Structure 1
Amino acid sequence: ILAKFGHTDSDYFRLLGRNLPVLEQRTLTDKGIFYTSGGLSRAERELAAAVTSKINGCIYCASVHARKASQLSKDNAAVERLLAVEPGQSLSSGQSPRWQAGIDFAAALSVTPPAVTPGHLAELERQGLDTLAQLDLVQSAAFFAWANRLMLTLGEPSLP
């Protein structure tokens, strides 16, 4: 299963590989959230994963998903602004209105306890996110809240 999904060198996936049905379902869930058509753009789904990971302090996941958001959106400067934000500061400062709404929502969903308000949903709607796009945003953030917590149990990532 690890080789099938290309994850033989990852501590995270080797941990999940101790229970192959869980690894398989996790991978299918990931693909279902990030690779389906319609709804939120793939770049914005990756952005939500990066925001959630930044909130949770998972630097490895934040960097991986920020890189994907940058590649897919072709807006490296916006993603760099997000990554440069110091703890306690607004993650959405200097972003486009649509990205501000998505970032603010993902961040509010990711803190403990969650701080999402009807105002967050109203702003998503003002920025053109329909129900399916909002669901994609929730799923992207929620999936990475879970993934971050598992990744963080493995300790600091080692760099090659």
Structure 2
Amino acid sequence: MTDAAISRYPVPDINDLPDDLKEMVLTVQEKSGFVPNVFLGMAHRPDEMRAFFAMHDALMEREGNLTKAEKEMIVVATSAANGCQYCVVAHGAILRIRAKNPLIADQVAINYRKADITPRQMAMLDFAMKVCLDSRSINDDDFETLRGHGFDDEDIWDIAGITAFFGLSNRVANFTSMRPNDEFYAMGRG
């Protein structure tokens, strides 16, 4: 464990947070056994923290045809493309757990095109990367390709929405120099 800074910005004490945010952080701590640094880093701006986690939950907890592991694959692949260490490490841990596969997160982060994933997941990540890196070139052919793999228009929205939201998250994590918790590195590997 290290005592390195969590963020370039001041991190408030959990007990100094507004009650709703304090409850949110303590609930996460109880569930995971530690407080992910994203909660502490985002607490620098309480109103934005509320909005950030509301959008996160709306996308990542939404019922639909994408599995929780597939949603995490999108986060890991696009966060790697954006050079976001925090999100690759944190969501890589979640991906390993949700996929019950200790190798998948590293494969997806380094080169998803060589990962042990299905053709459906490859098409999903190809589209997510297009949203991430070249969204202005998205066209009807992209939708047809995804529909050919069994995705409907709501699934396509989910892929794009998750990618776009984590583009914001990656940028905030990068400019604040948000440090991944040491706990994430070993999760889901054993």
TM-score interval, smaller chain: 0.7 to 0.9
Contact 1:69 1:79 in 2 (8 A): yes
| Mapping 1:121-136, distance limit 5 Å | 121-136=143-158
Q: Decide whether the 8 Å contact of 1:101 with 1:120 is kept in 2.
A: no
Q: Which residue of 1 aligns with 2:131?
A: 109
Distance change (3 Å), C-alpha of 1:73 and 1:22: same
Q: Percent identity?
A: 20
In structure 2, list runs of 5 or more residues that go unmatched: 1-19, 30-34, 183-190
Match of 2:97 in 1: 71
- CA–CA separation in structure 1 for the residues paired with 2:63 and 2:173: 28
Q: Is the 8 A contact 1:102 1:124 kept in 2?
A: yes
> Which structure carries more relative contact order (alpha carbon 8 Å, separation 6+)?
2
After superposition, the Cα gap between the structure-2 partners of 1:44 and 1:13, relative to the gap in structure 1 and judged at 3 Å, is same
- Per the normalisation by structure 2, the TM-score is 0.70
Q: Which runs of structure 2 are paired with 1:137-156 in the superposition (5 Å)?
A: 137-155=159-177
Query: Deviation string for 1:27-62 (max 9, x for gaps)?
Result: 111111111212322211111111110110002201
CA–CA distance in 2 between the matches of 1:51 and 1:114?
Answer: 19
Letter in 2 for 1:92: R
> Secondary structure of the equivalent of 1:50?
helix
User: Does the CA contact (< 8 Å) of 2:128 and 2:159 recur in 1?
Assistant: yes
Q: Secondary structure at the match of 2:109?
A: helix
The change in CA–CA distance for 1:125 and 1:28 in structure 2 (over 3 A counts) is: same
Q: Which has the higher helix share?
A: 2
Query: For 1:3, what is the secondary structure of its paired residue?
Result: helix
**2:46 & 2:159 partners in 1: Cα distance?**
27
Distance change in 2, residues 1:103/1:76 (3 Å): farther
Flag structure 1 segments of 5+ consecutive residues without an equivalent.
86-90
Q: Which residue of 2 aligns with 1:88?
A: none
* CA distance in 1: counterparts of 2:72 and 2:180, whole angstroms: 22
Does residue 93 in structure 1 map to residue 133 in structure 2? no
CA apart distance, 1:113: 6.0
User: Which deviates more, 30-39 or 13-22?
Assistant: 13-22
Distance 2:57 2:70 in 1: 15
Corresponding position of 1:43:
69
Going from structure 1 to structure 2, the CA distance change for 1:120 and 1:70 (only over 3 Å counts) comes to farther
